[in-house]
């Protein structure tokens, strides 16, 4: 709010026409009683308002127009304005402080909540891991027991086989039927290997034979062409002799 330099009135009270009062010095405004006030017109920022609104805006600045006579100095108005601005800034600062406090509180609550969840999840995983250890050991013991059972069963089966094929193994000169089967498998593998080598050699020879046949055919065609050329030349020579 600036200080009052001058007053411009038109047909106001005893002032007829357009009149200028001032310029003023040191005073922001001089306001006094005006009879019943029925002919007064109040404006705020060039907007005509009622006395109640006008009075309310002045009271916000600490000016009580209900006093019988009052005088408002420019420096006093500046001080009032500064106080109002200070209160506004303080209110804004208080609001920011409250928002900051709320944000910090919310952040701490979020951290605490997440920390509690993480600790809970960690405790759950550790508990599950602790339970897995004994279970894994139990499974290992079960597997080892089944391996021993399978080994014992295999030995019993070998004993039965030895008893059944004892005479046969003695006749063919092997210690047991398993040795015979191993030799048999070995011979079968060797036979399969030799058969594969034979098939590969046969394929290579077949390819070579086809190549030689093609070469022979081409050579025969060339010889035929040469013979035809010779016979043609001989015929030409005979014609020339006649």
pLDDT, tens digit, 9 for 90 and up, residues 112-166: 888 888 888 888 887 777 777 788 888 888 888 889 989 888 888 888 888 888 8
> The domain containing residue 66 runs over which residues?
7-75
Does a structural domain hold residue 13? yes
Supply the pLDDT for residue 33. 44
Indicate the burial class of 77 (C-beta count within 10 angstroms; 0-12, 13-18, 19 or more): buried
* Structural domain count of the chain: 1
User: pLDDT tens across 196-222, in order?
Assistant: 998 998 899 889 999 999 999 998 898
Determine if the pTM surpasses 0.75. Answer: no
Does a structural domain hold residue 155? no
E-strand stretches of the chain: 7-12, 15-21, 27-31, 42-44, 47-49, 70-73
Does a structural domain hold residue 119? no
Does a structural domain hold residue 66? yes
Residue 32 banded pLDDT, cuts 50, 70, 90: very low
- Out of 32-36, 64-68, 123-127, 154-158, which region has the weakest mean confidence (pLDDT)? 32-36
Does a structural domain hold residue 47? yes
Please, how many CA atoms are within 13 Å of residue 48, restricted to the half-sphere of its CB? 2
Does a structural domain hold residue 51? yes
Does a structural domain hold residue 154? no
Does a structural domain hold residue 152? no
């Amino acid at each position: 709010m600036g200080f009052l330099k001058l007053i411009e009135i038109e047909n106001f009270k005893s002032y007829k026409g357009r009149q200028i009062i001032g310029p003023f010095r040191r005073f922001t405004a001089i306001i006094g009683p005006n009879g019943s006030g029925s002919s007064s017109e109040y404006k705020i920022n060039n907007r005509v308002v009622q006395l109640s609104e006008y009075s309310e805006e002045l009271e916000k600045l600490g000016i009580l127009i209900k006093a019988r006579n009052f005088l408002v100095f420019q420096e006093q108005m500046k001080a009032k304005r500064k106080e109002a601005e200070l209160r506004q800034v303080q209110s804004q600062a208080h609001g920011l402080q409250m928002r900051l406090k709320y944000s910090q509180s919310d952040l701490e609550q979020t951290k605490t909540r997440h920390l509690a969840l993480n600790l809970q999840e960690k405790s759950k995983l550790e508990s599950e891991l602790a339970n897995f250890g004994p279970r894994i050991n139990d499974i290992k013991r079960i597997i080892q027991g089944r391996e021993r059972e399978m080994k014992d069963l295999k030995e019993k089966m070998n004993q039965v086989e030895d008893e059944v094929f004892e005479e046969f193994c003695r006749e063919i000169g092997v210690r047991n039927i398993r040795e015979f089967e191993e030799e048999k498998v070995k011979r079968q593998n060797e036979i399969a290997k030799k058969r594969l080598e034979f098939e590969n050699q046969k394929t290579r020879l077949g390819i070579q034979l086809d190549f030689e046949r093609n070469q022979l055919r081409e050579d025969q065609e060339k010889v035929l062409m040469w013979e035809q050329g010779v016979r043609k030349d001989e015929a030409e020579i005979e014609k020339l002799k006649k």
